[in-house]
Structure 1
Amino acid sequence: MSQQPIKRRGLMLVLSSPSGAGKTTISRRILESEPGMALSISATTRQPRPGEVEGKDYFFVTPERFDQMVAEGAFLEHARVFDHRYGTPRAPVEEALAAGRDVLFDIDWQGTQQIREAAREDLVAVFILPPSTGALEARLKSRAQDSDEVVARRMAKAADEMSHWQEYDYVVVNREVEESVAQVASILAAERLRRDRQSGLRAFVESLRGEEG
């Protein structure tokens, strides 16, 4: 008797943190080690930063086009962050999950709340904390992408962002990147093995029992 195959629906791995706490670096490392994982590309109304590529880092759209996509229900989640808007296109995410591919999200707590309401069973939410506020400020300044005024605004907003840590399934303190990447990878491995994510598991077990008989 042939054993029944076990298939798995993809999951949505969300990484959130205050700006500068390291979630983007951790996200890139996870993507490098997980070639089958898709990155959710957000649409945004802000201008590209140096080195950012259309369709790879973001989909850069006008505020008018963003409003149209909201009206069409084209976003899985969307939010305003500082002076700009960000949103996750729904269709590519749903296609990946149905095909058994995991999708990585680099979004804030507002977007995570919306995804939780829309698809809680597919969500694995991880919050990244800095080891200290001093380390967070140093990282923001070392990026040399923002003015002192913008850095000050991000630091002021960080306290509010960090207050949402209890809304997440897991919390990682990013003291050292290698350790943090390993911790997130462990979370991903465990969540992939959850019983309710593996379709066909009951039939597989029954086929094993049938072989013993």
Structure 2
Amino acid sequence: MTDAQDPSAAARRSRLVVLAGPTAVGKGTVAAEVRATHPEVWISVSATTRQPRPGEENGVHYWFVSDDEFDRMVADGDLLEWAVVHKAARYGTPRQPVDLALASGRPAMLEIDLQGARQVRRTMPDALFVFLKPPSWEELVRRLVGRGTESAEERTRRLETAREELAAETEFDVTIVNHEIHAAAEELVALMKPSPTDL
């Protein structure tokens, strides 16, 4: 029986929240705060072909896969979205875990880049698209440089991408300004709670 045939299953199915924003805005940090303080929220783990950064764990922060494995996932239709990010590594969202989380009725979230968000909008237009924005351009630059995980050449490339990404804010349903991590995470989780009209 499908959700369309089972009204109770359709009622249980949750709405996907898609969080995106420019590089170094703190998407991953906000998502980690949500994961730590709201275990009821399911957060997708992306697959990527880039190398792990210090402290990152396979299956927790990302699924680190080879180029060949990523090619297989694309060919088999296993990814909800995927993109080449910063003209370097590929990132993608495994499809099956998203479908299972939504079907279970859990609040579910994707933390992805702008290209990925645009693909998800085409395939899942009913999702809520949230843009995470820095308090200012200067703060975004400070965060990227302070992270210390990229070379000067990569920082320049990421900042060029960030300018383009900031211009996409109008494509989103809601904007959250990331002044402070915990506050941004709480604002994001509040969007996942059903409104009185949904009940």
- Map of 1:21 onto structure 2: 25
Distance in 1 (CA, whole Å) between partners of 2:188 and 2:41 is: 14
- SS of residue paired to 1:127: strand
Distance in 2 (CA, whole Å) between partners of 1:36 and 1:178 is: 16
- Map of 1:158 onto structure 2: 162
- Map of 1:169 onto structure 2: 173
1:84 maps to a residue whose letter is A
Kindly report which structure 2 residues correspond to 1:20-99, keeping only aligned pairs within 5 A, or say none: 20-82=24-86, 83-99=88-104
1:102 maps to a residue whose letter is P
Distance in 2 (CA, whole Å) between partners of 1:43 and 1:65 is: 10
- Map of 2:190 onto structure 1: 186
- Structure 1 residue 194, shift from structure 2 partner: 6.6
- SS of residue paired to 1:120: coil
- SS of residue paired to 1:181: helix
Distance in 2 (CA, whole Å) between partners of 1:29 and 1:11 is: 20
Q: Note the residue ranges of structure 2 that are not aligned, 5 or more in a row.
A: 1-7
- The TM-score normalised by the length of structure 1 is 0.82
- SS of residue paired to 2:54: coil
- SS of residue paired to 1:94: helix
- Structure 1 residue 71, shift from structure 2 partner: 1.0
- Contact 2:33–2:185 (CA under 8 A) maintained in structure 1: yes
Distance in 1 (CA, whole Å) between partners of 2:71 and 2:49 is: 10
Q: Note the residue ranges of structure 1 that are not aligned, 5 or more in a row.
A: 199-213
Distance in 2 (CA, whole Å) between partners of 1:52 and 1:182 is: 24
- SS of residue paired to 2:124: helix
1:39 maps to a residue whose letter is I
- The TM-score normalised by the length of structure 2 is 0.88
- Map of 1:104 onto structure 2: 109
2:125 maps to a residue whose letter is R
CA separation of 1:174/1:145 partners in 2, compared to 1, >3 Å: closer, same or farther?
same
1:193 maps to a residue whose letter is S
